[in-house]
Amino acid sequence: MIYETQPTASHYVDGAYLEDTDGTPIPVIYAATGARIATVHAATPAVIDRALTAAARAQSDWARLSGRERGRVLIRAAQILRERNREMSVLETFDTGKPLQETLVADAASAADALEYFGGLAGSLTGEHIPLGGDWAYTMREPLGVCVGIGAWNYPTQIAAWKAAPALACGNAMVFKPSEVTPLCALKLAEILTEAGAPAGLFNVVQGAGEAGQALISDPRVAKVSLTGSVPTGRKVYAAAAADMKHVTMELGGKSPLLIFEDADLENAVGGAILANFYSSGQICSNGTRVFVQKSVKQAFLARLTERLKGVVMGDPLDEATNFGPMVSEAQMRIVEGYIAKGVEEGARLVTGGKRAARDGFFLAPTVFADVTDGMTIAREEIFGPVMAVLDFEDEDEAVARANATEFGLAAGVFTRDISRAHRVIGALKAGTCFINSYNDAPVEMPFGGVGMSGVGRENAKAAIEHYSQLKSVYVRMGDVEAPY
Ligand code: NDP
């Protein structure tokens, strides 16, 4: 047992914890030590059926409440999350290995923001009145029904809440499947929603790997699927949802560019590049992993970056002085090591890092490659680890063209003091989420999502409402009906 308030069973269904040991055991490994800290069981078909049945029942009652009444539950859940921030943060650290210094400010806090924001919005979700001369029409904003959320392992609390909050605000119910690598946090969110007054069955959590995800997506009771995951998984999930014309949101991977011009504030640019590559040990979908630096400032940039990386404190994630944690799993560490080896083999210059730390757990040092060229594997594929690729460029047009030469389009950033250039470059970059003189800020008020292979739809902000509701249009004739015969 991690601590006394950890989840007490594998699943959370119909307002309570549920166990079914017939499901395949899934070990929960603490990334900082490699030790097994819990075991959950994959959902059996019976568990999945119970979750979907409960969700369908809860949804019809929930949708009949006023938006304000629904919002009140979400806002209360946000308050409870904030009150229990430390407890939730410790659980997040055990689930992912991310340092407590991060989880205390980034995870339950972000989940609470989403619940509070969409709770506040719920009462203002309306249709519109459309005058048509004598006649008129109106639209009603209706929920979709039962939504399925499928999460990646890097932000288990945040991902669950970013999907649940808009879904529930719009009057839907949800069945959420966390990544099997990080199964714990979503269970606590479910528990908190119940405590906040959510009816039994409104938000359910079932465990399992891709198989459980597929079973959920293909069930006819499901109206929508929201996935956070890799592009290959996105393809499969999108295809499965298309068979029944289900709505989808796809938050997928990226290989985002960060452009640093010679007129940028160097200290801020280095800080931005650090945030864009090493926060959460680089396991962030929107990371700016292709750092294009204008040639004239490349040496100064690399020198200052190397200097600042001396401030990395790698160690026990529960020690609040630690600011750099392990990879989420041994498998992920090996994937990242493979990319580092490829970088060296293909001729990139290893500036710093590139090695495992001499300690238990899945720790990899923050790694910087310079002299990276566009064709190298480390410049083309998503690594999802602490590996920064620095590429140099001569001028703006060249940098923009090379930045856009990717199938992904999740995020992009630019550092420059030239205000016109900042907006011109951002306007030309093909990406859904952009940053000027900053990187990776994700306030709930701002839509988040990608273009191209990085995804479909948007999370957060008012934009998310469009993806969890549909319009019914009603034409109202005020006079007689004129039929031709
Ligand atoms: P995966 O794509 O491997 O898995 C994502 C989720 O999908 C997991 O819960 C997984 O289950 C499930 N899954 C896998 N196969 C299927 C299937 N055939 N049908 C239904 N569900 C399936 O991603 P990771 O968990 O490895 O996360 C890393 C990826 O997520 C990176 O590419 C990253 O860029 C992306 N990501 C995107 C974000 C965004 O907002 N755009 C944010 C965070 C991450 P299981 O793993 O248990 O087998």
User: Rounded to whole angstroms, how far apart are CA atoms 357 and 355?
Assistant: 6
* Average pLDDT for 276-302: 98
Residue bearing the CA closest to ligand 1, atom 43 = 285
Q: How many CB atoms lie within 10 A of CB 233?
A: 18
Based on the residue annotation, tell me whether 116 is a catalytic residue of this protein: no
User: Rounded to whole angstroms, how far apart are CA atoms 135 and 151?
Assistant: 46
Q: Do the Cβ atoms of 192 and 144 come closer than 8 Å?
A: no
Torsion sign, CA atoms 262, 263, 268, 269: negative
Q: Do the Cβ atoms of 206 and 178 come closer than 8 Å?
A: no
Mean pLDDT of the chain: 97
Would you state the pLDDT for residue 444? 98
- The amino acid sitting at 378 is I
Q: How many CB atoms lie within 10 A of CB 20?
A: 18
Cβ of 382 closer than 6 Å to ligand 1, yes or no, is yes
Which residues, listed in sequence order, are joined to residue 265 by a DSSP beta bridge? none
Cβ of 261 closer than 6 Å to ligand 1, yes or no, is no
Q: Which SS3 state, helix, strand or coil, does residue 112 take?
A: helix
Residue bearing the CA closest to ligand 1, atom 8 = 179
Q: Do the Cβ atoms of 141 and 469 come closer than 8 Å?
A: yes
* Mutation to probe ligand 1, out of 228, 283, 454 (largest number of atoms < 8 A from CB): 228
Question: Residue 461 pLDDT > 60, yes or no?
Answer: yes
- The per-residue pLDDT for range 157-203, each reduced to its tens digit, is 999 999 999 999 999 999 999 999 999 999 999 999 999 999 999 99
* Mutation to probe ligand 1, out of 110, 214, 230, 384 (largest number of atoms < 8 A from CB): 230
Cβ of 447 closer than 6 Å to ligand 1, yes or no, is no
Cβ of 183 closer than 6 Å to ligand 1, yes or no, is no
Question: Residue 6 pLDDT > 90, yes or no?
Answer: no
Ligand 1 centroid – CA 235 distance (Å): 11
pLDDT band at 257 (very low <50, low <70, confident <90, very high): very high
User: Rounded to whole angstroms, how far apart are CA atoms 474 and 485?
Assistant: 25
Containing 63, the helix (H) or strand (E) segment is: helix 45-64
Would you state the pLDDT for residue 3? 62
User: Rounded to whole angstroms, how far apart are CA atoms 178 and 227?
Assistant: 10
Atom of ligand 1 nearest to the CA of 254: 34
pLDDT band at 253 (very low <50, low <70, confident <90, very high): very high
Cβ of 460 closer than 6 Å to ligand 1, yes or no, is no
pTM exceeding 0.85: yes
Ligand 1 centroid – CA 240 distance (Å): 15
Q: How many CB atoms lie within 10 A of CB 279?
A: 20
User: Rounded to whole angstroms, how far apart are CA atoms 118 and 381?
Assistant: 34
Name the active-site residue from 92, 102, 251, 382. 251
Would you state the pLDDT for residue 155? 98
Would you state the pLDDT for residue 4? 64
Cβ of 280 closer than 6 Å to ligand 1, yes or no, is no
Question: Comparing C-alpha atoms, which of 292, 290, 302 is closest to residue 261?
Answer: 292
Helical segments of 84-195, H only:
85-96, 100-106, 108-122, 156-169, 185-195
Encoding tokens for residue 397? 């047009």
pLDDT band at 2 (very low <50, low <70, confident <90, very high): low
* Average pLDDT for 95-115: 98
Residue bearing the CA closest to ligand 1, atom 46 = 179
User: Rounded to whole angstroms, how far apart are CA atoms 140 and 456?
Assistant: 24
**Residues with Cβ < 8 Å from 124, sequence gap 6 or more?**
67
Encoding tokens for residue 65? 């409440």
Q: Do the Cβ atoms of 396 and 421 come closer than 8 Å?
A: yes
* Mutation to probe ligand 1, out of 233, 256, 444 (largest number of atoms < 8 A from CB): 233
**Residues with Cβ < 8 Å from 307, sequence gap 6 or more?**
none
Q: Do the Cβ atoms of 81 and 119 come closer than 8 Å?
A: no
Q: Do the Cβ atoms of 44 and 73 come closer than 8 Å?
A: no
Report the phi/psi class of residue 460: left, alpha or beta, with left for phi > 0 and alpha for psi in -120 to 50. Answer: left
Q: How many CB atoms lie within 10 A of CB 218?
A: 14
Would you state the pLDDT for residue 312? 97
* Average pLDDT for 388-415: 98
DSSP state string for 3-35: STTS--SSEEETTEEE--TTSPEEEEEETTTTE
Cβ of 252 closer than 6 Å to ligand 1, yes or no, is yes
Question: Residue 332 pLDDT > 90, yes or no?
Answer: yes
User: Rounded to whole angstroms, how far apart are CA atoms 364 and 101?
Assistant: 18
Q: What angle do CA 431, 437, 438 make, to 5 degrees?
A: 70
Encoding tokens for residue 111? 């989940």
Cβ of 14 closer than 6 Å to ligand 1, yes or no, is no
- The per-residue pLDDT for range 9-32, each reduced to its tens digit, is 999 999 999 999 999 999 999 999
Cβ of 209 closer than 6 Å to ligand 1, yes or no, is yes
